[in-house]
Chains A and B, each alone.
Chain A
Amino acid sequence: MPNWLGATARQRREAIEGYLFTGPVLLGLVFFALFPVVASLYTSLNRWDLIQPMEFVGLKNYVDLFDDDTYKLTVRNTLYFSAGIIPLGIVGALCLALLVDRQRRGVNLFRTLYFMPVVTSVVAVGLVWAWLLDTDFGLVNTLLGQVGIAGPKWLTSVEWAMPSVILITAWHGVGYNMVIFLAGLQGIPDHLYEAAQIDGANAWQRFASVTFPLLTPTTFFIAVMSVISSFQAFGLIYIVTMGGPANATNVLVFYLWQNAFTFQGKMGYASAMAWVLGLAILALTLAQMALAKRWVFYE
């Protein structure tokens, strides 16, 4: 029987059940996502070391960012890191996905091998790579030495540290993008390739005219996610270089963490950095979405 809201008892019961099912998630979202976001905005307007009471300073923390040389350096380093990791991550993953797309003997083994770094702890990855790239005793320089090349100081010179971190990060994450590309590749209907082949298209033409255009939605997704994650790089840098040498690999989130926890708690300043970073990522994502109309093709 309908009640005054027009819902039957069954509909009401189902609605209550629905809220109960989603309740825990909603509570989690409010307490562990929404509340911290709002709290960090408020914190960014204060001077706060976590211990003493907050002191309201208005927009001072935001203004100070413009006068902080280390912050400017970390912005440049972050852009450098992103410029390296995004193309490398996308192109590398696409190549790997193309390699393991076709069902050949042993292909599943290679898919697994390529994906394994993704499920390996970032700490283990960082420590192993630090040893591999050791200047004097690392495997990489030892092998280079055997062919007469004096290997560089991969992680301890200002010039090589960031490229090394980019390579390690790419190695660690490329498998994830590969799986997404693989899903995209396998969603391309075979009849399009057959039609292209009948038209006389060679392998490159089939890739350029069929595969790549139909992969653009996947590429777009990966590009957006790569931009976001590259701006949030932290784990490997913490393990491998600690932002050094001489701040050569100090990126935005690492500097943010230093301010929040190691400089006697500049929590307000760190929150301001987080908000600027968040807004920058939002702006970049919106820009990517706007540009997507020009190059992303949906079937």
Chain B
Amino acid sequence: MHQGITRKQALRLIGLGTAGALAAACAPAPTPTPVSPPKPAAPTPAPAPPTAAPAKAAEPPKPAAAAPTVAPTPTAAPKPAAPTPTAVAKPAAKEPVEIEATLWLDQTTETVFWDVTNGFTKNYQPLIKVKWSMTGAQYNEKLRTRIAAGTPPDIIWDGPGPRLINNVRAGVYVNLDSYIKADKEFKLSDFPESGMKFYIADGKVTCIPFGWCTGVLYSNKKVFDEAKVDMPTNSLTWDQYVEMAKALTKRDSTGKVLTYGVLANGSYWPYLGIQLGAPGVFHDHGVWQKPAYDHPANIEGLQLLQDLVYKHKVAPDPGALKTQPWMAMFTGGRLAMNQNNIYTTNEWLKQKMDFFMTFEPMLKKRSSGYWTSGPAISVKSKYQDQAWEFTKFVTMGEGTRQFSRAGWCMAGVTKYFGDFLTDEVKKRGGQAAIDAVAWPDNYIPHTGPLGEKIASEVNPIIDLVMLNQKTPADAMKEAQAKAVKVIAAGG
């Protein structure tokens, strides 16, 4: 009995297989498939979308002014911007569509994002279904590859920084100005101008924040109770903060630290520098100023961080954080306090931990981070109008309020800032996050197209400080020289 296949049959199979593979490879990319019409919305009345006064066409704020105390140096002229296609507002969806939105989170844990999109479809736009593609790690790489392939998602999450500016200049995002002007519901003036200015890249609004994060000091109440230390107040000074951290740091009989008082995040030094009077490091959105790494206040800010680890021994060194994520240390009672943006409130609430929020410890002046991210619409999207509807929902509608109530941020528009204060957050001192809006500052040290290159040169130097192998003064001198060199070379 003949078994197996003959050579002729094998060749036929190979030929057919190859032809099939080539046909598949050469076929046009699949177009987004309309989804089946969703079930009718629940009989309960949908919450009314935010109303707005008849729209006075909102002009985008001018690009942020240069930092006041640094003198401009001659830099390579920025390349002329690629024209950003201007979208024309059209009627909302007439037939069911599915649009894709992407961001850098882990889709297995961030359930609130799915709740928001489900609520959008169910209660507001039954014909628009939004599907998240959350990349987890390597967002930049995956996103750039998809843009290069000509198949970007309809909605791309972005925020102040090099990626936003690069993508605007490359014409990746829709210029939203015409949408904003044509849409009576949407008023740019509802958003805090002090934060919105970070979103204006080359004079265009292409990305709108889904909320705002100020910086606060989080305290683990259980650790304080066990150590019998009073909780911090809004008038906490830096010296008091250090003393408190000493009282909270617990060691075993061999001297090994069981609980650290505070976290000394090496990337936090520009925050401290500003509070000590530095003009920041950069804030330019593309037009480079003289870097200010070696400003005395920045050196002092970095020194404060280094001292927490090596002088006062109340904060873990980078080695201790390598395998022990600080968030787990905080929720697990191995870290008493940490300064952070309020998006982490969401995590503490999820973990059901007993925490408290206050102003960050006071240095020479009050200052607070003011940062977040939000949707931009791809020019390649076939569903730009639908993407705009979703953009509105998550920036000034019910979506942003949902994020805010979940502890992700304060809402995008000022009038809903109070939504952050759920009962749970209010009793934990959440008002501090809202009050901190009063002194917004730019805490983003590496914006602009050269930013990542400078960061790559400077961050290893900061690492050496946090490893106690370099003094802050030497490090900042070196960082300044590196930054100047990168700028002079144009990247």
Point out residues on A near B: beta carbons under 8 Å.
17, 20-21, 23-24, 27, 49-52, 64, 67, 69-70, 130-131, 134-138, 153, 155-158, 244-247, 250, 258, 261-266
Contacts and interface: CB of A to CB of B under 8 A. Distances in A.
B82 A20 contact: no
B15 interface: yes
Interface string B416-456: 00000000000000000000000000000000010011001
Given A17-B7, A264-B162, A245 B323 contact: no
B469 interface: yes
The bracket for how many chain B residues form the interface is 35 or more
A157 B464 CA distance: 9
B467 interface: yes
B322 A263 contact: no
A264 B452 contact: yes
Contacts, number: 103
A147 to B, nearest CB: 15
Given A24-B14, A261-B141, A264-B449, A247 B256 contact: no
Nearest to B166: A264
B29 interface: no
Given A24-B18, A70-B456, A51 B147 contact: yes
A54 to B, nearest CB: 12
Contacts of B7: 17
B463 A244 contact: yes
Nearest to A14: B7
A20 B14 contact: yes
Nearest to B142: A261
Given A20-B15, A51-B147, A246-B467, A135 B320 contact: yes
Contacts of A246: 460-461, 463-464, 467, 469
6 contacts: A153-B319, A155-B322, A245-B463, A246-B460, A264-B140, A266-B453
Interface in B193-224: none
Contact of B460 (A23, A51, A244): A244
B163 interface: yes
Contacts of A51: 144, 147-148, 166-167, 170, 172
A135 B457 CA distance: 27
A156 B317 contact: yes
B318 interface: yes
B140 A20 contact: no
Given A156-B318, A245-B467, A246-B463, A263 B14 contact: no
B48 interface: no
B267 interface: no
B11 interface: yes
Contacts of A136: 256-257, 319-320, 324
